[in-house]
Every structure is written in C-alpha cells, then in structure tokens.
Structure 1
Amino acid sequence: METKNTDASASEPTTEPKIATQPVIDTQSEPETNSNESAPKEQAQQQSSTPWGIIITLFLLLILAFASVAGGYYLYQQLQAQQAESAKLTQQLQAALVEPNQRIASLEQQQGRFATSVENAMAQSLEQQTQLEERVSIIAQRNPNHWRAEEAKYLVRLAGQKLWLEKDPSTATSLLKAADERIKSMRDPSLMPLRKALSKDIAAVASVKNTDISGTVLTLDAIIDNLDKLPLNRAETHFSSEEVADTQMTESLDDWQSNLAKSWQALIDDFVIVRKRTTDAAPLLEPDQQWYLVENTKNKLLQAQLALYRQDQVNYRNSIKLARKWIFQYFDLKDQQTTDTLATLDALETLKIQSTSIDRFAASNMLNQLVTYGNLMTEEAQ
C-alpha cells in the first residue's frame, strides 16, 4: 500500500491533492483503530486486576487495625492491673504505717509525761535542797551541846548493836557509859532525867552475864578438827593364867607323862583352839561404820554451835551429851587425846546461855527528843 501511494503522488503532484492525501489519512486511521481496540483490553485487564489489590490492601489494613485495637486493649488491661496493684500497695502501706504512727504518738505522750515527771522531780529536789540548807543553817546556829547529843545518840545505838546482834554486854556497857559522859559534859541540869535513864540502862546491861560464845565456838571447832585423829576401841582378848600355865612343860623326868600330854595337847591346839575369855570383847567397827561414826559426831558438835548462836540451851546440851556419849563408847579411853576431849565436853556441857531481857533502852526516846527539839519534852507535851 505504501508503493501505491508513492506512485500516485509522483504522477499527480498538483492536480489531485485530495486524492494524494486520502491514502495518507487512511493509512493513518488504520493504526488508530488498532489502538482503540487494544485500549479496552488493557482497561479490562486493569479493571480485572484492581479489585484483588484493593481487597488485599483492605485485608492488611483490617489486620493492622485489629492488631492495633488488640494491643491497645492489652495495654489498657495492663494499665488497669498496675493501677489496681498500686492502689493495693498504697492501702497496705497505709495499713502498715498505722501501728508505727500509733507507737510514735504513744512515745510522744510518754516523753511528755516523762518530761513532766522530771520537771516535778527537779522541783521537789530543789525544794528539798532548800529545806536542807535551811536545816543546816539552823543546826549551824545551835550551840555545841547539840553535837554532844548527836554523839551520845550514836553511842547508844552502837551499844544496842553490840548487845542484841553480837551478844557482847561488856562492850555495850562501856558504850553506854561513854554516852553518859557526853551528856554529863553538856552541864545542863534539865538533862538529869536522861542521865537517870542512862544509869538504869547501864545497870541492866551490866547485870547480864557474859557468855563467851565466840570462845565456845572455837573450842568446838578444835574438837571437830581433832576428831579424825582420835583412836577407836580395839577388841582385846584376855585369857586366864591357868590356861597358860597348863601349856607349860617342866624339866623333871618324873613328869614325862604330863609333859607328853601337854605336848600332845599343844599339837592339837594348833588345829583347834578353844580359849576362855575373862572379859567381854568390844566389837570391831567396819571402815564405813567408822566414817559414819566420826561424821555423825561432827554433825552433833555443829548442831551445838548453831544452838549456841541461837541461844537454845536445850538443843545445845543435848547435842553435847550425845557427842560425848559416842566418843566415850566407841573411842579408845586409854588415849590421852580422848580423855582430854571428854573433859572439854564435860566443861562445855555446864555452860549456861543467858539471853538478855532488854528490848529497848530507856534513854533512846529522850535522846531522840534532845536531838530533834534541842531539849527534853515534858510529859504533858508528850
């Protein structure tokens, strides 16, 4: 077709322009129709492929939206759980802080009360100190006789301790006499009733016989220490002299028969011995019985010491008697230590324990009055 168009255009270049141009138009319109036919096909193909992409895209978007919603809901749940846990912890913390707060409050109250009590105690101590200073100033203004009265009161108190606690009436008498000398040095005629009471106390204490308790206890201690050294009785057999004479042989030949009989009798006696005792044999003690004997005797002497301290005359004498009886019965009476021990126990048994009947000194109340008020109170004032 292109060759035909070229030939026509060469033969008629000017007279038929329209004919020359017509094939060109046809030749150009033919491919347009082809392009118009192929375009719907491409559009159909494009239209057929577009819905699947959109569906896939929408599906992906839905998945993403669902995932984002699920993640948001999970985060919301976690946030709610954390808020609930934090609220629970807050409540537990508040509950745990209740007791410490209460204790702190109680401690603050106690501290307040303690501070108040300390202040009160300080105020009382200051008041007592003021009173003491006033009393000291009053005492300092007194005459020297007050100090003599204080000294006499101390001496009388010390005499009471010697008499009732240490059982020493002689020292108590000396202390009462020293107190009377202090009152006498005051040269106050109004104190004659006090001196009279002191003289009465001195006479009463001097009448108490002095029992040497300390010396007696030491003597009993010496006996207890030497008790292990005392020898015990031993069984000694005493035979008659006739039996001994019968076993002796003579030197005379005329007595050969009797000598033979005595020899035969001596030979028999080596196998069987029968002897006659002229005295009773004391039984021997076994070692354990000897130990019990010594320990029981010591125990009785210790009981005597205890009764001596308690001024129990009956138990003291009973203990001494029983200890002496055991020593006399089971120990060797021929030994000098045993006889000395028995003599000492005989002397201790005669000891008389005298307890004082004085409960209180008559001068004690008057001395208290003299020290407190500076003079003796009359009977009407009492």
Structure 2
Amino acid sequence: MAEESETPKILEELSKSNAAKPVSQTSRKQKNARRRVAIIVILFVPLLGGVLFLGYQQQSLTSRLATLSDENQQLTQSLSVQSGQLVQLRENLLALPEPVRVDDSVLRELEDSLGAEIQRLRQQLADLEIEAVTTESEPKFSWKMQEAGYLLRMANQKLQLEADPASAIVLLEQADTALSGSENSNVFAARQSIAADLVRLKNIEQVDREEIFIRLGNLAAQADTLDLIGSMRGNFPNRRASDSQPVEIDMNADGFIGQSLEFLESVFVWRKWEETTEVMLAPGQDSLIKQNLRLFLEQSQLALLMRDTELYQRSLRESLAWLQRYAMIDSESGQNIVSGISELSVISINPDLPDLGQSLDLVNQIK
C-alpha cells in the first residue's frame, strides 16, 4: 500500500520535469536569436555609414564637376574673345600707314643734357658718400666741441654763482677730456687756457664753510663759561683777606710815629695797579655782555652764509674787542675763545675766483 501511494507522486514529478524542459529550450533559442540580430545590426551600421559617406562624396564630386564644366566653358568663351581681339589687332597693324620720319635732333640734345645732369648728380653723390665716410671716421668733432662748451659754461656758473671751486675743477677736467677726444689740432690754445685755469683754481685755498660755521657756533656756546671782570672784582676781598697778615703791635717800638705807621700798614693794604682800570659792571650786566658776544659770533655766521667778507671780519673784530674789554682773557676759557676768533679772522671766506670767459671764447672759435 505504501508503494501505491508513492507512485503518483513520482509520476507527478516526472511530468513537471518534462514540462520544464521545453520552456528552457525555448528561452535558449530566443537568446541565440537576439544575439544574431545584435551581431547583424552591429555589422550593418558601419556598412550603412560607409554607403552614406560614399553617396555624399559622389554628390560632392558631381557638383564639383559641374562647377569645373562651367568654368571651362567660361574660359573657352574668353579664349575665343581674346582670339578675336588678336585677329583684330593684326588687321589694325597691317592697316597702319608707313611711319613718318621725325627730326630727333632735339630729342638727342635733350638726351645729352639729361646724361650730363645724371653724371653731375652721380659725381655729387660720390662726393657726399666720401664726405659721409670722412665724417664717420672723425670722433664726432662738433659734438665734442658742444660738450666742451657746455662743461665750461657749467664750471663758470659754479664759480660765479655758487663759489664752488671743487666742482669747477671737475667740470674743467671733463671739458679738457672732451677736447682731447676730438683729435683736432685746433684745440691746443683752448686746452692751454683750460690748463692755466685749472692751475689757478687748484692754488686757491679751499674754504670749508661748514667747519667755520660749526666753530663759530662752538665759540658762541662757550660764551656762558667766560669769567668777566666783575667776577674778578667780586673775588678781590677774599684775595685781600688771604694776603693780609695778623697785626702784632710791638709795644717796644721806638716812638709813637713808628707804632702808628706799623698799625696803619697792618690795617690797610696798599696795591699798585698794573693795568688801566676797566669798566665797572653793574649787577646783572654779565648776562647782557655774554649775550652781546653771542650776537657778534652769530652775525659772523650770517656773514659766512652771505659770503660777505667785510661783515665777517668786522663781526670778529668786534667780538675780540668785546672780549678784551669785559672778559678775563687770561683765563683758560678766555684764551680758547680769543685764539679761536683769531684763527677764524685770518681765513678768507670768499677768495677771488678766476673767470673762465677766455677759455669759453677759444672753444667757441674752434671750427
């Protein structure tokens, strides 16, 4: 009984398996068919593109051939027209009358004159070429002359307006170098004059105005340290006390008169003035004296900047006279100021400078 119950199940499974096999075979066939179609499509697309490209090329060639055919027809027509024109020209030339003889003597004369003019122009051109070569071979003589003249004018301006011999010497040396570079024998006189100007300028003592100005400022600052005559008189009582000796009266002195004289000598100090009396200073006048001394020295500084020799010397003389009148010039500070003023007074702040007009005229005369 058990075997009979299992038999239908087995039969049912067999029937299901048999029914599933045709379905799987059908799907395989469909897949294979799709693959074939895809391969055919892939192969057909390039073929179709090639066919289309060939069609486009054929159409382009056809249109190009048509264009060339039209151009060929136009060229043929133009050739036929030109051929007709040539035939017409031949006929016209054959129909021309015999040439008329003309007197060409005038033309020959004109030709000869033109030939002579051309020859003259050629000679002038050759001369200009030679002159250009000669000019190029020279070291630009005119430029050198202009450079030397400009440098001389600048040097003269430095001397006359700025009183600067150092800069003038440099400019003169540059002008001499320019003349030397011209390689011309006519510059000898000008170079000789420039050399003389250089010697005169180099012999001039160089004035350091900045140093003089600073020294004057230092002397003005030292005015506050001066010992004036009033302070010397103020110290006179102290010196008198130190010089006086205690009085010892000798009771055994001979006579009353001798004792009286000794007593008076002990009380009073008798001094002999070695110099003439100076001006007595009022209280507070020492600051005014020092201020006036500073003003004199500052006035000297102003004269230095203005290059006013007369004012410079007068201010220094007044400063020195002021010191000798009111200050103790024997002291260390007084001697320093007096020696400084004396040294500055011998310096020429505005020395005589040469005029470069002669050298400039000689350069301008060179040709």
TM-score (norm 1): 0.45
Larger Rg belongs to: 1
Q: State the TM-score, normalized to the length of structure 2.
A: 0.47
Bigger RCO (CA 8 Å, 6+ sep): 2
